[in-house]
């Protein structure tokens, strides 16, 4: 029997997932940007690797009972893969941008460098996935990057900072791009997010503990500012941001998900305005508009030719 309602039903089924994906990506941008704000807040109360240690350790320990009691049994081979992703995605990325800030690299410049993630993904996609961005996606990425430059350019004050410190967020971004692509092609990508996030947090905590010990110790600072910063980083910048990141990655392509993160530097500046009273400018508004235009170009589906 012919189903005459098929075209409209198909349209409805396509619109609803896209709507959900857009909401998911908006929440991702807000929570991802909150990580920069949390680091800025907590860095006044403790050394950077002590902050990263307790952020990762607290996150992993909170998730551990759920990871063990709920969901499929965790196989050793899957756990080892997630440990590798934790070392690349969490340890590499977080240590890269946070250390750069602690060495005096301006936060706006760090946000700008880390948001070149789509270009890093494109650079690594061919050898890892055998894929390459189309001309349309490259064009959208360049426009999105231009918007970030407009919105973040006012804060690019080089200052008296070691030259090598500017390479830290670059290395962190390449580390996250590599982990993103490996996660996409990994057979363990079907592991529930709370399980993979738990393993990655604990493996990152083990790495950060070594650096924190070298900095002076691993014990937490009994200070309201430190505790509040850690809670912010755990529940907003870790549970919300990374869970949404991996969920979006499973529902979409690495190019689209990482391109959406182009909005994080301008949104970070809005966070700073709300929480710290930092002034906004027309440049930020213009950058937001240009970035959004570039993201729409990258994220919009390609039209297939009719035969």
What would the pLDDT profile of 91-127 be if each residue is shown by its tens digit? 888 899 888 877 877 666 677 677 777 667 766 776 6
Using CA atoms, how far apart are residues 190 and 60, in angstroms rounded to an integer?
19
At 152, which helix (H) or strand (E)? helix 135-152
Q: What angle do CA 214, 217, 222 make, to 5 degrees?
A: 150
Using CA atoms, how far apart are residues 231 and 234, in angstroms rounded to an integer?
5
Give the pLDDT confidence score for residue 303 in this predicted structure. 55
Residues 6 or more apart whose CB falls under 8 angstroms from that of 130 comprise none
Give the best-scoring range by mean pLDDT among 57-61, 246-250, 257-261: 57-61
User: What's the whole-number mean pLDDT along residues 125-154?
Assistant: 72
pLDDT-wise least confident of 27-41, 56-70, 154-168, 284-298: 154-168
User: What's the whole-number mean pLDDT along residues 142-159?
Assistant: 66
Record the tokens describing residue 115, joined without a space. 């948001």
Using CA atoms, how far apart are residues 77 and 162, in angstroms rounded to an integer?
41
Nearest to 201 by CA among 50, 13, 52: 52
Using CA atoms, how far apart are residues 214 and 49, in angstroms rounded to an integer?
9
Using CA atoms, how far apart are residues 46 and 34, in angstroms rounded to an integer?
18
The answer, yes or no, to whether residue 1 has pLDDT greater than 70, is no
User: What's the whole-number mean pLDDT along residues 284-295?
Assistant: 75
Using CA atoms, how far apart are residues 297 and 289, in angstroms rounded to an integer?
13
User: What's the whole-number mean pLDDT along residues 59-78?
Assistant: 88
- Rounded to the nearest integer, the mean pLDDT of the chain is 77
Give the DSSP letter of residue 238.
I
User: What's the whole-number mean pLDDT along residues 81-95?
Assistant: 86
Record the tokens describing residue 197, joined without a space. 């996030």
Using CA atoms, how far apart are residues 288 and 282, in angstroms rounded to an integer?
10
Nearest to 46 by CA among 306, 227, 262: 227
Give the pLDDT confidence score for residue 213 in this predicted structure. 94
Using CA atoms, how far apart are residues 183 and 180, in angstroms rounded to an integer?
5
Cut 0.85: pTM above it: no
Give the DSSP letter of residue 105.
-
């Amino acid at each position: 029997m012919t189903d005459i309602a098929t075209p409209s039903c198909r349209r409805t089924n396509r619109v609803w997932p896209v709507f959900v994906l857009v909401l998911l990506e908006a929440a991702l941008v807000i929570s991802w940007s909150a990580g920069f704000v949390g680091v800025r807040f907590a860095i006044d109360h403790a050394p950077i690797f002590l902050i990263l240690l307790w952020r990762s350790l607290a996150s992993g320990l909170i998730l551990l009972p759920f990871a063990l009691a709920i969901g499929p049994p965790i196989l050793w081979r899957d756990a080892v893969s997630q440990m590798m992703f934790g070392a690349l995605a969490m340890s590499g990325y977080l240590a890269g941008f946070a250390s750069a800030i602690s060495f005096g690299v301006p936060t706006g410049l760090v946000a700008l460098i880390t948001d070149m993630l789509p270009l890093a993904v494109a650079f690594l996609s061919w050898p890892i996935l055998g894929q390459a961005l189309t001309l349309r996606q490259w064009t959208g990425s360049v426009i999105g990057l231009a918007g970030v430059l407009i919105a973040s350019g006012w804060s690019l004050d080089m200052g008296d900072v070691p030259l090598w410190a500017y390479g830290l967020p670059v290395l962190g971004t390449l580390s996250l791009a590599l982990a993103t692509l490996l996660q996409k092609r990994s057979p363990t990508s079907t592991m529930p997010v709370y399980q993979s996030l738990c393993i990655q947090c604990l493996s990152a905590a083990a790495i950060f503990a070594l650096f924190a010990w070298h900095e002076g110790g691993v014990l937490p600072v009994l200070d309201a500012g430190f505790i509040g910063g850690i809670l912010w980083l755990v529940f907003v910048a870790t549970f919300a941001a990374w869970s949404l990141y991996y969920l979006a990655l499973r529902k979409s392509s690495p190019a689209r998900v990482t391109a959406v993160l182009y909005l994080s530097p301008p949104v970070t500046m809005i966070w700073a305005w709300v929480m710290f009273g930092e002034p906004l400018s027309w440049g930020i508004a213009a950058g937001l508009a240009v970035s959004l235009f570039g993201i729409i170009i990258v994220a919009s589906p390609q039209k297939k030719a009719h035969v």
